[in-house]
């Protein structure tokens, strides 16, 4: 089959390109490169030995999307494109609402105009808000989000549910990711945060690389086994395979289904530091620091629904995640080469 991936040059999108191509599918990628490099697409082609139809452009631009879909016939779309920095979304909320919501509406209009009514959407565990009921199951009531980024995911889920009510021919799969980390085992593609990273693993990697002096551990007095926050870290290649399964599901089912993509295991920040040191035989300078505003003590998935219905299960271990993250970072200390961009 042939799939459209918006935001396919980004971190999760590029790894999903590899999974889909290796499974024998064709792909078309649209990305405005606002948070990614075209080198990611070249590297995916290198890893898979296959070509990608790649269009640089904005998913909020419906005319542009229509032009792409006039040229490229696809069976379904995965909508990764979006802005994702939680802190930044608090400073520039309108940009987040505009980009993340307009792009979904424009994409659905363009898909429907081409009679493609199958979409997989990149949602997030953030829609559970500050609920601390764990493990988190898909039928947990949606929470109150703590930032505009989270609300864009919450609203996009609602928009897609409403779309299906209006036209039951739509097949919508909402994937709620937990904490994606790691990289393709080749070390050719990985997470390349621009500016100051947002997430724990890039901070760990940059500290190990000497780019940062030490890792700050935000809060050691939470109500968790060792006092630091617990999260469900999932290898990005497991997440990528979840998209393959979700697309296969969306092509044979109509309706709206929501799936958690997580391992079901929670690890604390201290455990992550220890695992990274163990897997990579190095020492990571770190110190305890005050809590980060907005963090909840623990968040981990109940992935049983995805296991059962999609036939998907995360298989990579925490050591795999730490090893592959460092393999990418150490081979690409400054991310993708900028001169090729």
What residues are labeled active site? 149
DSSP secondary structure of 161-195:
HHHHHH-TT-EEEEEEE-EEE---TTSSS----SS
Residues 267-296 that bind ligand UFG (CB under 6 A): 269, 292, 295
DSSP secondary structure of 233-263:
EEEHHHHHHHHHHHHHHHTT--EEEEEEES-
User: Where do we find the tokens 């802190």?
Assistant: 87
Q: How far apart are CA 300 and CA 11, in angstroms?
A: 21
- State the minimum distance, in angstroms, from the CB of residue 323 to ligand NAD: 19
Q: Is 217 in the site for ligand UFG (CB under 6 A)?
A: yes
Residue 287 or 338: the one with the smaller Cβ distance to ligand UFG is 287
Of residues 34, 186, 216, 330, which one binds ligand UFG by CB under 6 A?
216
- State the minimum distance, in angstroms, from the CB of residue 206 to ligand UFG: 9
Q: How far apart are CA 131 and CA 143, in angstroms?
A: 6
Binding mask 122-161 for ligand UFG (x = CB under 6 A): --xxx-----------------------x-----------
The answer to whether the bond into 135 is cis (omega within 30° of 0) is yes
Q: How far apart are CA 217 and CA 290, in angstroms?
A: 8
Q: Is 317 in the site for ligand UFG (CB under 6 A)?
A: no
Q: How far apart are CA 262 and CA 110, in angstroms?
A: 31
* Phi, psi at 234, each rounded to 5°: -130, 135
Of residues 58, 62, 88, 324, which one binds ligand NAD by CB under 6 A?
58
- State the minimum distance, in angstroms, from the CB of residue 333 to ligand NAD: 18
Residue 113 or 289: the one with the smaller Cβ distance to ligand UFG is 289
Give 13's contacts (C-beta < 8 A, 6+ positions apart). 5, 6, 7, 29, 31, 36, 78, 80
104 binds, among ligand NAD, ligand UFG, none (CB under 5 to 8 A by kind): none
Of residues 5, 18, 31, 235, which one binds ligand NAD by CB under 6 A?
31
269 binds, among ligand UFG, ligand NAD, none (CB under 5 to 8 A by kind): ligand UFG
**Pairing mode of beta strands 76-79, 118-124:** parallel
Q: Token pair of 77, please?
A: 């779309």
217 binds, among ligand NAD, ligand UFG, none (CB under 5 to 8 A by kind): ligand UFG
Judged by the rule CB under 6 A, the positions of this chain that interact with ligand NAD are 6-7, 9-13, 30-36, 58-60, 80-84, 99, 103, 122, 124, 177, 180, 199
Judged by the rule CB under 6 A, the positions of this chain that interact with ligand UFG are 84, 86, 124-126, 150, 179, 198-200, 203, 215-218, 229, 231, 269, 292, 295
């Amino acid at each position: 089959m042939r799939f459209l991936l918006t935001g396919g040059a980004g971190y999760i999108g590029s790894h999903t390109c590899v999974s889909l191509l290796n499974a024998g599918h064709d792909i078309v990628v649209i990305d405005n490169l606002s948070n990614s490099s075209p080198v990611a697409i070249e590297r995916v082609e290198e890893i898979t030995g296959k070509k990608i139809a790649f269009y640089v452009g904005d998913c909020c631009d419906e005319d542009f999307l229509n032009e792409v879909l006039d040229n490229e016939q696809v069976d379904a779309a995965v909508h990764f494109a979006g802005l994702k920095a939680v802190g930044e979304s608090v400073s520039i909320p309108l940009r987040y609402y505009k980009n993340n919501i307009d792009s979904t509406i424009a994409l659905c209009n363009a898909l429907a105009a081409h009679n493609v009514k199958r979409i997989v959407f990149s949602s997030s565990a953030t829609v559970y808000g500050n609920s601390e009921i764990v493990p988190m199951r898909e039928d947990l009531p949606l929470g109150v989000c703590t930032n505009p980024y989270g609300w864009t995911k919450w609203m996009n889920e609602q928009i897609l549910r409403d779309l299906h009510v209006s036209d039951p021919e739509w097949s919508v799969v909402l994937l709620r990711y937990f904490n994606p980390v790691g990289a393709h085992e080749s070390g050719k593609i990985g997470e390349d945060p621009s500016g100051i990273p947002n997430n724990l693993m890039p901070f760990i990697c940059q500290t190990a690389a000497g780019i940062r002096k030490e890792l700050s551990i935000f809060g050691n007095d939470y109500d968790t086994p060792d006092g630091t926050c617990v999260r469900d870290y999932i290898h990005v290649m497991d997440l990528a395979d979840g998209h393959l399964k979700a697309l296969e599901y969306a092509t044979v089912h109509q309706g709206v289904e929501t799936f958690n993509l997580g391992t079901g295991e929670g690890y604390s920040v201290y455990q992550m530091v220890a695992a990274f040191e163990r897997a990579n035989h190095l020492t990571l300078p770190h110190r305890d620091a005050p809590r980060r505003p907005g963090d909840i003590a623990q968040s981990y998935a109940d992935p049983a629904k995805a296991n059962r219905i999609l036939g998907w299960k995360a298989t990579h271990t925490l050591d795999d995640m730490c090893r592959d993250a460092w393999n990418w970072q150490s081979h690409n200390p400054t991310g993708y080469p900028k001169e090729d961009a």
